[in-house]
Structure 1
Amino acid sequence: MFLASSAKPIDDNLKNLVDEIEAQNLSLSVLAARQFRYNLYQNRVEITIKEPREFNVLEEFIIRAGIEFNPPPTEDELASVLGLDPIFVRSTTANLKMLQTLSATSPITVTPEGRLFYEQGSVPQPPYSVQLYAISDLLNKKLTFQSEPLNDISLNLPDLAKFITIDNKNPDISSLSLAEIQQSIQASGLGFHVPEEGKIVTFCKLISGNQTIGEKISLFVFYDVLEDKLSIQLRNGKHILESASVLLESLQAEGKISLQSLCELSDETINFERQAILNQKNLEIEVKLEKIRQQALKNSLSEQGTAIQLRDRQIPQSFSEVLNSAKRQILIYSPWITQAVIDDKFLSLLQKLVNRGVWVLIGYGIARRQEDEDKQISPEIEEKLRAIKTPDGLPSVQVFWLGDSHVKEVIVDREIYLCGSHNWLSYRGDYLPRGESVYKVTIPQQVQEAYTFLANRFQNHAQELWQNALKNRDYQLGVKSLCIWGALSMEDIALQENEQNNWLELLPVWLNVTLQGLRSNNIQADSEIFKIALSLLNQVAIEEAYIESLQQGWRKVIGAIATHNYEIALNLLNDEIWAQFLRLHIAHESDSPDKFISQHTKPQKQHQEKPTIEKKARKPRKT
């Protein structure tokens, strides 16, 4: 048995965070969690700032002459050309020289800074100074600026610097170039250096030297049971310090730091815990399945559902019937996937299901690491499954390696659960009987328990894909994440992630995801997510490359909502939203909300009127 959390090197004030981390990702186990102090260095600096103002007519003529005339004129020559008293020109050029828009020499020569301001139709105002605090974070290799100083709080914690060597203990702000200072000030979001608005930091000087400020930092040692991998992570509160975590992992891999010294975690303890966790996780899976089997048999005559045992040749027939009954969602876990099942007939069935609004998620894999998998899915099968699209062109069958599981499960619409010894996607079952058995369960409690476990694995995979998509701004990975969230009825999470990470390019994809949900009645027409999504339109510019897809997406979505409930669609298009529809050319100036909705609803009504009535008559029970 592995160590209880109370016996692990976990600081008391981190135990709640450890529980939260492990609850969010079932594949992670925290082996150690300790708090340290590390030093930030604070310097008081004074920066000089120039801001623009609109130039007057004479200033414009002078600067323009300095740029366009060849050779540039003198003040007297320009005065003669303009028919002005030279004293006016000399007075104005003297002021422009003082503002460093013109060089101090004659003839009239415009400085690079002057050209920058001129392009914006302005000249600089007299500079002014502001005092700031420069915070050097050597662990994260970051320099930030803020208006208020950090308070040095006494921390009775071990100093991280005693365990990790960090270079450049005494940062010299004065040695940095002006460009480096400007970049850091701009990244700090203080609004003092905004070149696109003509607001520029032109100088920075050090007023007071280094002040050491203690900062609290938390170190976690994780073991990922699916990846069979140890990792180190540094956090400031709940915020993950990415670059510092990478640094620690590389130092640990090079043998330059010791987990024994850092958090009293020896190699023997790590190996013991690793094996115990692997055993425990696999045992949890088996115990879960056995519990479901036993409870299903015990409640096989329950008024709320049934549990039927199927054997050998009954299994493929029931599998096909269950899939055909799907209205919204199919989750499958099969250790292996082969052409024995993924043939043209099966692919045709999936496409038919997808056309009526069903999402399909398939997980596979038995090994702890994907590279160790003996029976990898063939690229041809994977390509055929991924080629199944929704009517709006999204990949509706997501298949991916999850690994480290012997589970063989199928869950349809959170209403029907198949589990047992049958390899759903690698054995057809029409050969010699193998003595296989499967339970077909419709008891809500058992179905929900199985769904929660399997859906959580799919959700973790979606979150991992999303983080990689954000890191590399990988559009295709972002699409996959949104499709998995859509399949799990987590369209609200998908929208929230898009909004928080300012990735509005994916909004058309999100709209197409919701169309699949509206098609299957899995999303209600009056869902709040549509109001939230509409509120984001004011952040979209008409020049965006994705504007055409966004226009088409909203036309389809409003039409689909109106097909379910015309009044709801009309209420969504209030004055504020309608103004955005016109601005972004989603609707035409000659349209009214009523006319717009009618245009995009009629074809759908003609096509979907009868199926919609039938769906209402067969509305699935909610669990």
Structure 2
Amino acid sequence: MGRQRYEGLYEEEGYQLCTSAGVYVPWFLCTLKCRCEREQPMSELDKTVCKCILGGIDTLEDISFVLSLDKEITEGEMYGLSMAGILAQTGKKFVFTEKGRDFFHRKSKKEAMVDEYPVYFNGITGKWHIHKPELKAEVPEGVIRLVPVKTVAKPDIENHAQARQALEEEYGTHIISVQLLDYKTIAYQEEEILFYENGQKQVLFAFYDSVSDQLDTMLGEALLKKFRRREVLELMQAEKHLEIVQSCFARENGLLPYCQGGQQQHHYLQNREIRELLLKVMDEAEKEIFIISPWMNRRVVNDDFIAKIRGAVSRGVMVTIGYGYISEVEMGQRCKEYQDAPNKGDREWRSLAMAKKLQQIFSGCSFVKIFYVKEGTHEKILSYDGKYTLIGSYNLLSYDGGEQNNYTGIQFRYEGAILIEDASLAREVKERFGIL
């Protein structure tokens, strides 16, 4: 029946299924290196040696003589049976261990080995899976692609009893230790989000996995732990797919959804979210924008970004940018060194060149202030409208968060920041940089 059987999912609450959209869920493709013990059939030589010991032929020399084997071969065989926990040596004699006789009767032994197994980590739910879901390396243009909110943690899989047990059952082995190898490749699983609407134009949603023909409740719960319901609907482009519910997504007082109306005083953001927040602030701030970024480059502070500065100024918004990783004194010395032959590969030099370009573009404009942090800084700060402050590891004016590479690839790295709604903090941050 497919998803048709979920048309009445919220019918009792007065909601009807209106439409759906494709959603691509990120998965990390991982490799585990496992030190294992696996029960294997005994070789004929194993069985013969054990029979010798049962018959009282229990020294290395006697077994070698009876079986007409070189001593080195016999010694290697005895070592293998001892390592498998079947035999133990007492003086010159070999005896069965407590479990050894049982292994001999079953004609099997345990062997230590190292195996590598593929496992899969859901970047939204944070759950490990040993069976590969249907994944796609490429994501079509214009679809909803989720950014991972969970990252692979080595201690997590190494101590994840449920995942280890599943691997043991799948491969018939006993895992002694686990080492996480490759874990940076991302692929995507295609699902659907189902939108339900009631007479008051309110919207509910559910995720549907067509492969299992089941609702993916775990995905929905994971997103609602990270975001508010309205934010999930915005993330899922509900406004685009449900034009009749546009009023549900009207911004309150022109503020962004991360901190609205005092309902949420702080929020943790990562790459795509930070990048989108910065661009929205440039477009929507009403009073002021204050940015501290150690570096700037033309890839991020490009013509589009400069146009956003112009747009902010046209709305009467004060734009202040502080930069400079090394001290002003050291930067001055470096400028003297580069006077004849500038080093364009030096990111401090590139930042200075970009600052001069901005100062030239906005020369005479009292609404734009570009300044060098005298002591040098490694802080990354975005503050706006005297109320909201973003502080974290993200280089706001020299890193696009991975946007140009679709938030994947070998150059991609995770950055994070916390957005805080606190007028006193916003004021204190500016005061520390001498901006009143």
**TM-score range normalised by the length of the shorter chain:** 0.3 to 0.5
Higher relative CO (Cα under 8 Å, sequence separation at least 6) belongs to 2
The structure with the largest strand share of the pair is: 2
State TM-score, norm by structure 1.
0.28
The structure with the largest helix share of the pair is: 1
